């Protein structure tokens, strides 16, 4: 018997946990955390206690109570007895939190498969954050074109373009036929040919089931979406304008979107400015240089990259004040004073949580701020209001330039039509019912329900 069960990503964007069983082989496609996990019970500092293992999660049904899945030490207060693994593998599509966030709970004896790029992202997150722990797994890495054997099941990972490098879709050959899992995909990105390759292979596999993301499956897009090339053109325009006025340029984007980093880097270099990043971004880049396929600049060697260090005590910068992982880039340091005195030499990555640096930098009124993420979902977003208060206070000019990590509704509809699966299961979407309107063969997942193929 071959079946699919969905324990996350059902009617929500993110939190994918898809269980695929084929006879005695049981494997997971992603094991992520929902963006709004437990938000009915937990908020701010009220959070599940780590010392209670999975107890606080099970209390509110935030994770499935399955035997033979979790690490023994996390089950102590849960009433769910420990059993050796009943699952053969976890396959990760990419390193975004909503696809990998819960792997730390898994029994370390269950092998975790992921792309080599994803492995580097997971390591960088653990090394630069005091509270990230993905657990001690046996990791097995793959590249596109590999064939992975899990029992009698063969899995083909194929690279796709998404807003993080090292992203994959999967074609799983089961005894009932091929099951295709998209992970997260986009068609308009700088590496769109990778997505096309995946879609082509998916079509050729004549799948009995397609588990498809549907982030942008909406009746009306609320956000402006550009292509990455349009973002680059827009950033250059802003820098050129700032050059003419002798003004500074700040920007913010998702730090792990290295395509967006490259966009800002390219624009900065083209306009004769250096790009100023955080120590965390420098560290990530430095790790990713290991993967020559990603072809990213090395912050240790590339003179176009500078690193902004926050002051740890008044008026002084001392090596010992910084974490070990922050120190390798100290000779690339620029300070608030450098930015204030020579505004047209740099463009600076300024994350919302680091806005206090503006108090030290004191940019001239009329300096520019590029917001390169999706706009907030709601009008009453508190962070959004606070951000605009800061921009107004320092009289920074706001620009929004963003390209989504996901296929548009039209692109996705065409892709699904051309793959022509026997059944399509929408996940990672707030609007699964839209799939039913578009496709006769759509099956809407219900949490924990088993669908036999
Ligand atoms: Zn993603």
Tell me, in angstroms, the distance from the centre of ligand 1 to residue 94's CA.
7
Check residue 130 and give its pLDDT.
77
Tell me, in angstroms, the distance from the centre of ligand 1 to residue 318's CA.
38
Check residue 56 and give its pLDDT.
95
Tell me, in angstroms, the distance from the centre of ligand 1 to residue 373's CA.
14
Tell me, in angstroms, the distance from the centre of ligand 1 to residue 182's CA.
11
Q: Is the pLDDT assigned to residue 287 strictly greater than 60?
A: yes
Higher pLDDT: 315 or 75? It is: 75
Higher pLDDT: 129 or 315? It is: 129
Q: Do domains 2-220+405-452 and 228-400 have the same CATH topology?
A: no
Check residue 380 and give its pLDDT.
65
Tell me, in angstroms, the distance from the centre of ligand 1 to residue 100's CA.
10
CB 106 within 8 A of CB 71: yes
pLDDT in tens, 424-435: 999 999 999 999
Tell me, in angstroms, the distance from the centre of ligand 1 to residue 396's CA.
31
Tell me, in angstroms, the distance from the centre of ligand 1 to residue 381's CA.
22
Check residue 379 and give its pLDDT.
60
pLDDT in tens, 204-251: 999 999 999 999 999 887 777 889 999 999 999 999 999 999 999 999
Is residue 201 very low, low, confident or very high in pLDDT (cuts 50, 70, 90)?
very high
Tell me, in angstroms, the distance from the centre of ligand 1 to residue 268's CA.
26
Tell me, in angstroms, the distance from the centre of ligand 1 to residue 97's CA.
8
- The CB-side HSE value for 61 (13 A sphere, CA atoms) comes to 5
Q: What is the CATH number of domain 228-400?
A: 3.40.50.10710
Tell me, in angstroms, the distance from the centre of ligand 1 to residue 14's CA.
8
Tell me, in angstroms, the distance from the centre of ligand 1 to residue 77's CA.
33
Tell me, in angstroms, the distance from the centre of ligand 1 to residue 431's CA.
17
Tell me, in angstroms, the distance from the centre of ligand 1 to residue 25's CA.
26
Q: E strands along 328-416, which residues?
A: 333-334, 346-349, 368-371, 397-400
| Cα–Cα distance measured from residue 107 to residue 84, given in angstroms and rounded to the nearest whole number | 8
Tell me, in angstroms, the distance from the centre of ligand 1 to residue 162's CA.
7
DSSP 46: B
pLDDT in tens, 89-148: 999 999 999 999 999 999 999 999 999 999 999 999 999 987 788 989 999 999 999 999
DSSP characters over 184-195: S--SSSTTHHHH
Across residues 76-88, what is the average pLDDT? 95
Across residues 356-362, what is the average pLDDT? 96
Tell me, in angstroms, the distance from the centre of ligand 1 to residue 154's CA.
24
Check residue 78 and give its pLDDT.
93
Q: Is the pLDDT assigned to residue 378 strictly greater than 90?
A: no
Tell me, in angstroms, the distance from the centre of ligand 1 to residue 294's CA.
17
| Cα–Cα distance measured from residue 432 to residue 436, given in angstroms and rounded to the nearest whole number | 7
pLDDT in tens, 20-39: 999 999 999 999 998 877 88
Tell me, in angstroms, the distance from the centre of ligand 1 to residue 96's CA.
5
Tell me, in angstroms, the distance from the centre of ligand 1 to residue 278's CA.
22
Query: Between 3.40.50.150, 2.40.100.10, 3.40.50.720, 3.60.15.10, what CATH number should domain 2-220+405-452 receive?
Result: 3.60.15.10
Q: Is the pLDDT assigned to residue 179 strictly greater than 70?
A: yes
Check residue 376 and give its pLDDT.
64
Tell me, in angstroms, the distance from the centre of ligand 1 to residue 195's CA.
14
Tell me, in angstroms, the distance from the centre of ligand 1 to residue 95's CA.
7
Tell me, in angstroms, the distance from the centre of ligand 1 to residue 170's CA.
15
CB 98 within 8 A of CB 35: yes
Two tokens, residue 431: 């609007």
Check residue 36 and give its pLDDT.
79
Q: Containing H/E element for 241?
A: helix 228-245
Tell me, in angstroms, the distance from the centre of ligand 1 to residue 222's CA.
19
Is residue 349 very low, low, confident or very high in pLDDT (cuts 50, 70, 90)?
very high
> What are the distances in angstroms from CA 73 to CA 83, 87, 425?
12, 18, 34
DSSP 291: -
Tell me, in angstroms, the distance from the centre of ligand 1 to residue 163's CA.
7
pTM for the structure as a whole: 0.93
Tell me, in angstroms, the distance from the centre of ligand 1 to residue 102's CA.
15
Tell me, in angstroms, the distance from the centre of ligand 1 to residue 264's CA.
21
Tell me, in angstroms, the distance from the centre of ligand 1 to residue 232's CA.
21
pLDDT in tens, 251-274: 999 988 999 999 999 999 999 999
Q: Is 61 exposed, middle or buried (0-12, 13-18, 19+ CB in 10 A)?
A: exposed
Q: Is 196 helix (H, G, I), strand (E, B) or coil?
A: helix
pLDDT in tens, 1-18: 999 999 999 999 989 999
Tell me, in angstroms, the distance from the centre of ligand 1 to residue 164's CA.
7
Higher pLDDT: 66 or 226? It is: 66
Tell me, in angstroms, the distance from the centre of ligand 1 to residue 99's CA.
7
Tell me, in angstroms, the distance from the centre of ligand 1 to residue 378's CA.
21
pLDDT in tens, 320-344: 899 999 999 999 999 999 999 999 9
CB 367 within 8 A of CB 394: yes
Q: Is 47 exposed, middle or buried (0-12, 13-18, 19+ CB in 10 A)?
A: exposed
Tell me, in angstroms, the distance from the centre of ligand 1 to residue 189's CA.
14
Tell me, in angstroms, the distance from the centre of ligand 1 to residue 242's CA.
33
> What is the residue extent of each domain of the chain?
2-220+405-452, 228-400
Check residue 304 and give its pLDDT.
97
- Other Cβ atoms within 10 Å of 24 Cβ, number: 9
Q: Is the pLDDT assigned to residue 386 strictly greater than 60?
A: yes
């Amino acid at each position: 018997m071959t079946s699919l069960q969905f324990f996350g990503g059902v009617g929500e964007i993110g939190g994918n946990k898809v269980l695929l069983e084929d006879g005695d082989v049981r494997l997971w496609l992603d094991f992520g955390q929902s963006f709004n996990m437990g938000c009915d019970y937990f908020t701010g500092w009220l959070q599940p206690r780590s010392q209670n293992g999975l107890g606080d999660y099970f209390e509110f049904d935030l994770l499935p109570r399955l035997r033979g899945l979790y690490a023994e030490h996390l089950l102590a207060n849960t009433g769910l007895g420990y059993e050796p693994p009943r699952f053969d593998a976890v396959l990760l599509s990419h390193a975004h939190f909503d696809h990998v966030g819960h792997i730390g709970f898994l029994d370390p004896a269950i092998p975790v498969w992921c792309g080599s790029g994803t492995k580097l992202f997971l390591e960088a997150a653990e090394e630069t954050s005091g509270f990230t722990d993905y657990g001690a797994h046996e990791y097995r890495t793959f590249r596109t074109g590999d064939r992975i054997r899990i029992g009698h099941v063969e899995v083909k990972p194929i690279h796709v373009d998404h807003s993080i490098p090292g992203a994959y879709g999967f074609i799983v050959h089961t005894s009932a036929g091929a099951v295709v899992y998209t992970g997260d995909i986009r068609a308009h990105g700088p590496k769109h040919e990778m997505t096309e390759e995946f879609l082509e292979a998916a079509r050729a596999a004549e799948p009995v089931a397609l588990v498809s993301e549907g982030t942008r499956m909406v009746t009306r897009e609320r956000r402006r979406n550009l292509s990455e090339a349009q973002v680059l053109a827009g950033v250059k325009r802003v820098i050129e304008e700032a050059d003419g006025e002798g003004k500074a340029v700040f920007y913010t984007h998702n730090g792990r979107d290295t395509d967006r980093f490259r966009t800002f880097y390219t624009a900065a270099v083209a306009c004769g400015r250096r790009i100023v990043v955080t120590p965390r971004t420098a560290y990530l880049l430095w790790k990713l240089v290991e993967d020559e396929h990603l072809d990213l600049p090395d912050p240790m060697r590339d003179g176009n990259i500078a690193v902004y260090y926050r002051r740890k005590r008044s008026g002084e910068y001392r090596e010992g004040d910084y974490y070990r992982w922050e120190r390798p880039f100290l000779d690339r340091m620029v300070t608030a004073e450098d930015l204030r005195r020579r505004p047209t030499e740099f463009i600076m990555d300024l994350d919302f949580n680091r806005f206090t640096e503006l108090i030290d930098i004191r940019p001239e009124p009329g300096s520019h701020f590029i917001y390169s993420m999706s706009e907030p979902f709601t009008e009453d977003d508190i962070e959004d209001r606070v951000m605009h208060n800061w921009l107004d206070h320092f009289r920074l000019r706001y620009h929004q330039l963003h390209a989504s990590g996901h296929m548009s509704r039209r692109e996705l509809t065409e892709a699904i039509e051309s793959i022509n699966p026997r059944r399509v299961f929408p996940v990672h979407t707030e609007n699964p019912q839209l799939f039913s309107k578009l496709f006769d063969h759509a099956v809407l997942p219900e949490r924990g329900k088993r669908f036999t193929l």
